[in-house]
Structure 1
Amino acid sequence: MKTGVLVIHGFTGGPFEVRPFVHYLKDQTDWNISVPTLPGHGLPPNLRGISAESWMMEAELALKQLLKEVDRVILVGFSMGGLIAMYLSLRYPIDKLVLLSTAAKYISPKVMLGDVVKMLTESVTKKHSPNTFYHLYDYKLANTPLQSTVEFVRLNRMVVPYYHQITVPVCIVQGKKDEIVPFSTGEHLYQSLGSEEKHLIISETGKHHICYSDDATDWFSEVLAFMQEDTGVF
């Protein structure tokens, strides 16, 4: 059985936000992995005039293509990407759902971008293109349109009423040191989703950009075990 994985990045970000986990999956599996760049995102970002529907549609198109190529699809969503992944799981035959630092509660994009700048300058930049990332987020702090923030909040509100209708097996990963999405969000999702099979993994050192946490390789292996499990027992 051929497996496909659709990985959806977060608000104002891009595929680089989930790159460590994507590289891990590629090293450990032969799965078909798709990581689309949502409209207005990537390098450099230009969100002006882009709607929440555009973000959802791009992810949906990538999912439809993946469904043509594989037998089973696993959705992985980071931050806002987690909201989009949940939305897609309601409409398509998804095998499993992985939610990373999912923005299920309101966050301030300005605070988020400030945290990213700090995160990049303190740790990630030691190993991952410091100048490119720092200048990208410095630019985004000053250039994220207010309307884009409104679209993000609107997307959140579109998905919230349907949590209980999500029934696919789900694995939630939440960092204890997340300064953007409240730590309680992981438990909130665990209690709210309608899935019978639910798992909550806590990253002790994880901030919002959890794929870059110091303990990432530990939870990477736990999530992979969930993704590989066929019997429904994790």
Structure 2
Amino acid sequence: MDSLDSKKKKCLIIHGFGGGLHEVKPLAEYLTGLGYDVVCPILKGHSATREDMRKATYKDWIDSAEHEFLKLKEKGGEIVLIGFSMGGLIAFNLACKHDIKAIVTINTPIFYWNINRVLLNLLDDLKSKRYNHIKRYLQAKNNSPFLAMLQFLLLLHQTKPKLEKIYCPILTIQAEDDDTVKRKSVDYIHKHVSSDRKNIRYIDNGGHLILLSSMAGRVLLCVEDFLLEQ
């Protein structure tokens, strides 16, 4: 084992439901530039066809992330888990099985679909005639077969009781205008994890795909500061 590899700080960044590496690419590139050893697993079913997505189970998603985690662990040293959206739920599952340095979640759902925000976004589309939000909602629907949605619900249901087993430091980041994740998800996570070092950072806008928004820089700095404290 290369001693330099074992000393290098490591991050496993996990993308969200129905998404892919593009959701977390800005963060991965930023941390790599800071000298971190960064790995971004592709969750099973998320890299090919809608049929592949339909066939994958939530356990497959966890296994996909765990496989890359174990490969990263072989290099030695401590690992920070960073989960975007559903990736945060997967990070919690890994943290219950393995020794983790810390966890960062970004727009991770416990309570989902902020209907008021969705309606405001639709109204904004009609006023602006750009229809960006409508296009995103249709794309999300296309990427999310019904059986895959059931698997997401199963993952959420079995993850919530595990939060009390999280003892490592945790940073929870939430966009206040997120239409997919309700703000009270942060309160639930903060209340139920057992860590005595837990921080919340709210970003006033940026939406659910905040790492692809104009507010991404603020998120990157929040993550960097948190990692430097560990």
Shorter-chain TM range is 0.7 to 0.9
CA RMSD in angstroms, aligned pairs only = 2.5
Deviations 1:89-126 (A, max 9, x none): 11101001000100122449xx99xx8xx8x9749xxx
Question: How far apart are the structure 1 equivalents of 2:189 and 2:80?
Answer: 18
CA contact (8 A) 1:10 1:78 kept: yes
Question: How far apart are the structure 2 equivalents of 1:44 and 1:138?
Answer: 16
How many angstroms does 1:68 deviate by? 0.6
Q: 2:39 aligns with which of 26, 34, 42?
A: 34
Question: How far apart are the structure 2 equivalents of 1:3 and 1:70?
Answer: 10
- The number of equivalent residue pairs is 211
CA contact (8 A) 1:39 1:55 kept: yes
Alignment of 1:135-174 (within 5 A): 138=138, 141-142=141-142, 144-174=144-174
Question: How far apart are the structure 1 equivalents of 2:106 and 2:139?
Answer: 25
Question: How far apart are the structure 2 equivalents of 1:71 and 1:154?
Answer: 32
- Provide TM-score, normalisation by structure 2: 0.83
Q: 2:100 aligns with which of 74, 94, 102?
A: 94
Question: How far apart are the structure 1 equivalents of 2:58 and 2:113?
Answer: 16
CA contact (8 A) 2:18 2:143 kept: no
- Provide TM-score, normalisation by structure 1: 0.82
Residue 59, structure 1, aligned to residue 61, structure 2: no
Range with greater deviation from structure 2 (206-215 or 172-181):
206-215
5+ long unaligned stretches in structure 2: 1-6
Q: Could you list the runs of 4 or more consecutive aligned residues of structure 1 that deviate by over 6 angstroms after TM superposition? A: none
Question: How far apart are the structure 1 equivalents of 2:224 and 2:181?
Answer: 23
Range with greater deviation from structure 2 (85-94 or 187-196):
187-196
Match of 1:129 in 2: none
Any idea what SS the aligned residue of 1:5 has?
Answer: strand
Match of 2:183 in 1: 183
| Structure 1 residues 69 and 212: CA distance shift in structure 2, 3 A | same
CA contact (8 A) 2:10 2:79 kept: yes
Match of 1:131 in 2: none
| Structure 1 residues 205 and 139: CA distance shift in structure 2, 3 A | closer
How many angstroms does 1:30 deviate by? 1.4
Report % sequence identity. Answer: 27
5+ long unaligned stretches in structure 1: 124-133
